[in-house]
Structure 1
Amino acid sequence: MLSRGPGRWAIAIPMALLALATLYPLLFTLNVSQKTRREYVLDRLGLTDRLSLDNFVAAWQTSGLNTYVLNSTIVTVGAVVALLVLGSMAGFAFSQLRFRGSRVLLLLILSALLIPFQVIMVPFFRILGGIGLLDTHLGLILAYTSQFLPFTIFLMTSYYSRIPGEIVEAARVDGSSTLGIYLRLMLPLGRPALLSVGILNALFCWNDVLIALLTMQSQDNRTLMVGVTALRGQYSDNIPLFASGVVIAALPVLLLYLFFQKQITDGVTAGATKG
């Protein structure tokens, strides 16, 4: 035990410092959000001595955060549903069905993971505008689906490939069609991976700024993260109000992570073990 003590401290101390560095910006922003404008100007780094929701109420009512939250919810839910349906179907096909060119097609899909969005955003913008879907919820849902679908297919294929093929063959012998196998067998068995991938994709979509900023051009259609970014210029003379908007934007993501941290961790290694 003594010999292992220094090794444990050598790991614990850097991890504690990393945790502190991660939590400090959130705690600092939360502290600033409790101050009045005058208190912030007089003492930016000092701890506040009061707890108040005034800045949060003002940020919600005067900056359109309620509209931004609704927009983010619509596009996030729509994109996650589309990603789970398409990703699970593709994962089932690539892992359990045998058809000509499946390996090549899977490699082509996965190669999209190597292409940053910045490389394709100009043609992407032109195509979306050409079909009349710029500045629409449907356009942003399709943008998120196309951007995150290769990642979803990769994880679902990895997970479904761990399911023994004998189970699928037994279902075929019992008279199940391919669609029946997918609906009655693969979806229930893939529920842990679907939950993990759904949470990860929800975080990706909710936190995105670049794609939403490129797609949603009008103020009424902004997502929450784009709207909060715009608050920095709108309330440059009232930093506590801006900090309140940042906390409101971060709160759903923080709660999602706290409640589903095990599923998020499992999603990163989906398919490493049998479901």
Structure 2
Amino acid sequence: MPAPRAGRWLVAGAMAALALATVYPLVFTTNVALKTRHAYVLDRFALTGSPRPDNLATAWDSAGMARYFVTSLTVVTCAVALLLLIGSAAGFALGRLSFRGSRVLFLGCLAALFVPFQVIMVPLARTMADLRLVDTHAGLVLAYVAQFLPFTVFLMASYYAHVPAEIVDAARVDGNTLFGVHRRIMLPLGAPALVSAGVLNALFCWNDVLIALLIMPSAEHRTLMVGVTSLRGQYADDIPTFAAGVLIAAVPMLLLYLLFQRHIAEGVTAGSTKG
């Protein structure tokens, strides 16, 4: 077999194995979620003969997943909106404008990406407690914005830095203020990066457990992922119901990713090349 063809088969085999390793947990979870408890005990790996969607209804109603879902949807939507609003404006300023201290601010945002959350966890909790934001939606939204804003600013600044300077100069000559340039020129041009930042931040916030546990400790204010972790103890002897809860938590972000996967790739790679 020629070397180029062998290399292609090797790459295809590795990618197929990676795809299988990614898809199998979702298929296994779906299969378990549709089983009865008795069928799961008999053979956890066998395909279910008669699917039971009752487990999904039990997890949604009896286990309180509906309330957790609404909490997560509210918090994630508000956090992503603020992240895009602030991150886009800051990215435009740091990536396209030149002013005193801009380089230091950009390096500060870059350095913040390497700070683990565990380092700021205690100061953040004390600050939130002093501001009486613990166990509130606003507190969790602000915590997510503080945690993921450096990534958003870095992504948007990298994208805006490769927008031709002539476009900005022409808009200023036409009488636009900096806010006008950002609103009328940069936001439409930055749509691919905004979509990427929005979807990635939604994934980060939706899948978070540690920050949500720290800021929203009470049971009635749990987010969906925290609620799913609590199901493991509540339904320790009913794995199909627990799997149904995991499936409910995974499907929204899976659909979001599948819907915007092309835009994510375009937004992430667009800022890496000029032109």
Q: TM-score, normalised by structure 1?
A: 0.96
Q: Tell me, which stretches of 5 or more residues in structure 2 are unaligned?
A: none
| Distance of 1:176 and 1:6 partners within structure 2 | 57
- Give distance in 2, aligned partners of 1:161 and 1:112: 20
- Tell whether the 8 Å contact from 2:36 to 2:52 is kept in structure 1 after alignment: no
Asked if the contact 2:158–2:271 (Cα under 8 Å) also holds between the matched residues in 1, the reply is: yes
- Contact 2:193-2:268 within 8 A present in 1 as well: no
Q: Are 1:158 and 1:270, in contact at CA under 8 Å, matched by a contact in 2?
A: no
Q: What are structure 1's unaligned runs of at least 5 residues?
A: none
Deviation at 1:77, TM superposition (A): 0.5
State the distance in 1 between where 2:197 and 2:270 align.
8
AA partner of residue 134 (structure 1): V
SS class of match (2:60): helix
Aligned to 2:156: 156
Q: Distance in 2 between matches of 1:210 and 1:21?
A: 26
**Corresponding residue for residue 182 of structure 1:** 182
Counterparts of 1:16-27 in structure 2, within 5 Å, are 16-27=16-27
Please report the TM-score for the alignment, with normalisation by the length of structure 2.
Answer: 0.96
The one-character-per-residue Cα deviations of 1:126-160 (angstroms, maximum 9, x if unpaired) are: 11111100111100100110100000000100111
SS at match of 1:50: coil
Task: Give the structure 1 partner of residue 14 of structure 2.
Answer: 14
**Structure 1: which 4+ aligned runs deviate by more than 6 Å?**
none
CA distance in structure 2 between the partners assigned to 1:234 and 1:270 by the alignment: 46
> Hey, what's the Cα distance between the residues in 1 that align with 2:133 and 2:240?
36
More divergent stretch after superposition (220-229 vs 2-11)? 2-11
Matched-pair contact (CA < 8 Å) for 1:168–1:181: yes
* Structure 1 residue 96: Cα displacement: 2.0
Following superposition, the deviation at residue 47 of structure 1 comes to: 1.5
Contact 2:96–2:160 under 8 Å retained in 1:
yes
C-alpha separation in 2, matches of 1:78 and 1:146: 13
Q: What percent identity do the matched residue pairs reach? A: 61
Report the counterpart of residue 91 of structure 2 in structure 1. 91
User: Which amino acid in structure 2 is aligned with residue 13 of structure 1?
Assistant: G
1:61-109 CA-partner distances (Å, limit 9, x unpaired): 1011111010000110001000001001001111222211110111112
CA contact (8 A) 2:192 2:264 kept: no
Contact 1:155–1:270 (Cα < 8 Å) also in 2:
no
Pairing 1:51-90 to 2, within 5 Å after superposition:
51-90=51-90
Paired position in structure 2 for 1:143: 143
199-208 or 265-274, larger mean C-alpha shift: 265-274
Counterpart for residue 116 of structure 1: 116
Instruction: Quote the Cα distance in structure 1 between the aligned partners of 2:17 and 2:118.
Output: 33
SS at match of 2:254: helix
What whole-Å deviation, never above 9, does each CA across 1:33-54 have from its counterpart, x for those lacking one? 1111111112222221122311
The alignment of Structure 1 onto Structure 2 pairs a total of residues equal to 275
Match of 1:216 in 2: 216
State whether residues 159 and 274 of structure 1, in contact with CA within 8 Å, keep that contact through their aligned partners in structure 2.
no
SS at match of 2:71: helix
- Superposition RMSD in Å: 1.4
